[in-house]
Amino acid sequence: MNTEGREKLVEIVKTTRGSMSQRAFGKLLGVSTTAVQSWERGDSVPDTENLAKIAARAGYTLEQLLGYLNGKPLPENSDLSLILRQIKYMPLSQVAQIVQAAADRLAAVAEASGDEAKAS
């Protein structure tokens, strides 16, 4: 892999890990913290199995990720697909906050609709 590809991979790994600790990310993938650190420094490259896991977490196929590392553009993700992907891997406490915010918004819309219907 060329230098540009390694830099892209470092960015993808860091972005995919997000706010998760290197230890937690490593545990999720079944590798050591040292392995994740090595990937993020560009000192080593994940094996194919872990590249596939990273690609899936990032919302891509392994083929798309490998193409990107070799200079091809990644397909565009919609804002909604990015949000859904992030929710899929968030801690449940954060997902609960999102669900509560959505429930509050739906309740406000339902209440506003009911008020409008009464006014008619």
Each residue of 47-60: pLDDT tens digit? 999 999 998 888 78
pLDDT score at 114: 76
- Considering only CA atoms, which of 73, 68, 54, 60 is closest in space to residue 1? 68
Mean pLDDT of 30-51: 95
| Domain ranges, ordered by start, for the chain | 3-76, 90-120
What pTM value is reported for the model? Answer: 0.62
- Exposure on the CB side of residue 12, measured as CA atoms within 13 A: 26
Q: Give tens-digit pLDDT for 48-95.
A: 999 999 988 887 888 988 888 888 887 776 667 667 777 877 788 988
**8 A C-beta contact, residue 74 and residue 8:** no
Query: Which CATH fold topology does 3-76 show?
Result: 434 Repressor (Amino-terminal Domain) (1.10.260)
Amino acid at residue number 8: K
Percent of the chain whose pLDDT exceeds 70: 89
Neighbours of 6 (CB within 10 A): 17
| Nearest to 53, CA basis, from 38, 36, 41, 37 | 36
How many CA atoms lie less than 13 Å away from 62 in the CB half-sphere? 8
* Cα 19 → chain centroid: 10
User: Position 96: which residue type?
Assistant: A
What pLDDT does residue 78 have?
A: 62
* pLDDT score recorded for residue 29: 93
